[in-house]
Structure 1
Amino acid sequence: MKLLEYEAKHLLKTAHIPVPMSRLIKLGDTLPTPLVLKSQVPTGGRGKAGGIIMIDKPEDLQPAIDKLLKLEIKGFTPKTLLAEEKLNIKKELYLSILIDRWSAGIKIFAHKNGGVEVEENTGFTSWSIEKKSQAEAIGQQLADYYELPGQTFALQDLTENFYDCFVKNDATLIEINPLILTEEENLVAGDCKMTLDDAASFRHVWNFEEKPAEVNFVTINPEGNTATIANGAGLAMATVDAAYQAGLKPTNFLDIGGGANEATLLKAFERIVKYKNLQAIIINIFAGITRADEVAKAVVAAKKQINNLPPLFIRLAGTNYEAAEKILTENNVALLPNLESALHAAKEVIHD
């Protein structure tokens, strides 16, 4: 079974492999720009066929949606499109894992050059992998091969999660092309092809429907005193780590993902306030596909609808920040300039 890109990326994200913030869209949807619009068809070559469009201006979005929904690529016409954040690309790499028919084992393949011209590449490097414990060494060798010594730990984690994703989903192929190194020095799966073994379907309940933002919710310490809300797994983890370093006791990890709106954020607040020792909520959002004004609306709604809502310490930046600032100011909700000041202010209200 060949998966569509958004389905494959859902499984990557579940395996803790970084993917861009994204959401499925259809004709009539409105989204903040810039973004990347991608046709969702079960075939390669979408870039060369015009199935991927960069959108920089809001007025270009609807014509692009209309165009892609009608564009046939190798006999396939999409039923849906994927909108993703536009990454700041420093380097494009190639990485895949597959069942090697010659050795009847699992192999990882890599190339220093990824992207639309990958089929022109020669000289791929490969490693056999039989168990998860080999991932650390292969990740080290990948860092050496890619000439990215600063990404050694990230590539070791990626290799381990890549192997896990492959085995747990009974895949026969997972191809990340490109594996993007961003200007911010993050490794992100820019695109993904994935094929699952139909014969193993009895072992799985594959569900590829879009999940609401609040599903990326993990309780860390139910006795903690400070809840955290952020967007993007990296920022969410960094927020939890910063809270620990500030001497707070985080209750949870919450990545609201991309495309979160007032309703999904309000549900997240309702879930958070169930922690019995909660005394503060840290909100750390860098808005992109999730807009800052939607976050602001959710904050205002939460303050009006949730009686036991503890003090909020909010840092916002990014898309529609000015609109968010106006909404919060009009409702007497303070914004803080950075995460450090939010943590400091939260610590002032915490009592043992």
Structure 2
Amino acid sequence: MDIHEYQAKELLHKFGVAIQPGFMASSADQAVYVATQLGGWHWAVKAQVHAGGRGKAGGVKLCKTYNEVRRAAEDMLNKRLVTAQTGPEGKPVQRVYVEVADPFETELYLGFVLDRKAERVRVIASKHGGMEIEEIVASDPNAITQILVEPAVGLQAFQAREIAFELGLNIKQMARAVTTLLGAYRAFRDCDATMLEINPLVITKDDRVIALDAKMSFDDNAMFRRPMVSAMFDPAQSDPREAQAAEHNLNYIGLDGEIGCIVNGAGLAMATMDMIKHAGGAPANFLDVGGGASPERVATAFRLVLSDPNVKSILVNIFAGINRCDWVAQGVVQACKEIEIKVPLIVRLAGTNVEAGRKIITESGIAIISADTLTEAAEKAVAACGNVHKLATTH
């Protein structure tokens, strides 16, 4: 789960990380009011979207007058911001963040990421802030400082001082940087984050260390114990189908292909997509109906898949263990009766009650293409997709 910059800064500030004064605004008038309340003579107006690269895409504007603040907010709000990370469809801008824009001398990079291979939190820092970490590594690998945090004791002050020293900070800056590092680590750990990026972390002329930007991602599976964080979820920033799937405890990710997938189990779903690619097709989605694939959940899964206009065929691949093939078959038949399915449907069932499941599908009288193996199912799905293309061309 991702959150907006202003939300990440709220969290970081609670853990002692210094940020610039600022507030969220959802209209141009509110943005001007925020600027008047903040005071000063320079403000930054930032589009709030779940993506990086906003500055290059016109999503961050520096303003010197209230009229400039108004124009900047009007240019961003209720539009879609397209950055290098959003794809051509962009992300909707429903909020802007207005903050005081004080001058600074140095830009640094600071990141925390959950390194699953090392089973540790990896801290990454660099003297070159304002750039993507990939660009920094490519241009100068030696500019990166990294440490792994021992989970039993957490990030220690001496480790934070080592990072600050590597960044070339003076005594005053070092003390404040240590506070920032330790606070950011606690925010990462205590909120079950998987990624925290402060880019840039800036040093001002009076030696303050300020998080000028912040991005945070969290472990979805831990949000049940982090209600404060889960309340920050913005469904407008995600695929509506993914939000709908989450409401029904389904795991859905939209892709660019034409073959819809309904599978139980994440591993089997990945294997199914691989087999579709191997057969010459392209999956339209990842959809894991989970271990309790009741008829109602399967019918919901069909609605999600069919909401994608690019889908030309649907492949249902169920290997029943906790699930039962007859349950899934009932769900498939129920979905076909409730929903008008105009594309070819391929079903492969295996495992618990497989014969009962196949019987339900055969006796339903519905035009369903059956397959015994995953390879056969993938080939039939790709072939059916091709036939739909031929029919469309003929007509």
TM-score normalised by the shorter chain: which range applies?
A: 0.5 to 0.7
2:154 and 2:170 map into 1 onto residues whose CA distance is 21
What TM-score, normalized by structure 1, do the two folds share? 0.57
CA positional deviation for 1:149: 3.0
Q: Which residue of 2 aligns with 1:38?
A: 46
1:49 counterpart = 2:57: yes
* Shift of residue 133, structure 1, vs aligned partner: 5.6
Shift of 1:62: 1.4
Aligned pairs, how many? 209
Distance 1:119 1:54, change over 3 A: farther
Is the CA contact 1:24–1:83 (under 8 Å) kept in the aligned structure 2? Answer: yes
Aligned to 2:168: 147
| 1:194-224 CA-partner distances (Å, limit 9, x unpaired) | 0011100111111667xxxxxxxxxxxxxxx
Alignment of 1:132-211 (within 5 A): 132=153, 134-150=155-171, 151-206=173-228
Which is helix-richer, 1 or 2? 2
Q: Which has the larger displacement, 101-110 or 192-201?
A: 101-110
1 CA distance for matches of 2:42 and 2:174?
31
Cα offsets for 1:258-316 (capped at 9, x unmatched): xxxxxxxxxxxxxxxxxxxxxxxxxxxxxxxxxxxxxxxxxxxxxxxxxxxxxxxxxxx
* 1:89 and 1:182 in contact (8 A); partners too: yes
Alignment of 1:129 with 2:125, yes or no, is: no
Partner deviation per Cα, 1:208-248 (whole Å, 9 max, x = no partner): 67xxxxxxxxxxxxxxxxxxxxxxxxxxxxxxxxxxxxxxx
* Selected match of 2:105 from 70, 90, 113: 90
SS of 2:227's equivalent in the other structure is coil
**Distance (whole Å) between structure 1 residues aligned to residue 115 and residue 18 of structure 2:** 25
1:50 counterpart letter in structure 2: G
The equivalent residue for 2:15 is 15
Distance, in Å, in 2 between the alignment partners of 1:119 and 1:47 is: 17
Q: How does 1:283-322 map to 2 (within 5 A)?
A: none
Q: Distance in 2 between matches of 1:40 and 1:171?
A: 19
| Residue 99 of structure 1: aligned partner | 114
Q: What is the one-letter code of the residue matched to 1:68?
A: M
- Which residue does the alignment assign to 1:72? 81
Question: 1:109–1:127: 8 Å Cα contact kept in structure 2?
Answer: yes
Report the TM-score, using the length of structure 2 for normalisation. 0.51
RMSD between superposed Cα atoms in Å: 1.7
1:27 corresponds in structure 2 to: 28
In structure 2, relative to structure 1, the CA distance for the partners of 1:134 and 1:13 (3 Å cut) is closer
CA distance in 2, matches of 1:183, 1:39: 27
Which whole-Å CA distance do the structure 2 matches of 1:201 and 1:71 have between them?
Answer: 28
Change (3 A) 1:72 1:158: closer
Matched residues in 1 for 2:155 and 2:53: separation?
Answer: 33
2:160 and 2:181 in contact (8 A); partners too: yes
AA at the equivalent of 2:168: E
2: CA distance, partners of 1:159 / 1:60: 35
**Which one-letter code corresponds to 2:2 in the other structure?**
K
Partner of 2:349: none
Distance 1:200 1:135 in 2: 25
Q: Within 2, Cα distance between the matches of 1:46 and 1:152? A: 29
> Would the alpha carbon gap of residues 142 and 170 (structure 1) be closer, same or farther in structure 2, given more than 3 Å must change?
same
Q: Is the 8 A contact 1:170 1:196 kept in 2?
A: yes
Number of the residue aligned with 2:68: 60
Q: Distance in 2 between matches of 1:71 and 1:56?
A: 25
**Aligned 8 A contact 1:45 1:116 in 2:** no
* Identity within the alignment, %: 29
Structure with greater Cα Rg: 2
Amino acid at match of 1:141: E
Q: Which residue of 1 aligns with 2:297?
A: none
For the Cα contact (< 8 Å) 1:173–1:196, is it kept in 2? yes
Larger RCO, structures 1/2 (Cα 8 Å, 6+ apart): 1
Q: Supply the distance in 1 between the matched residues of 2:223 and 2:16 (Cα, whole angstroms).
A: 22
**Distance apart, 1:156 and its partner CA:** 2.1
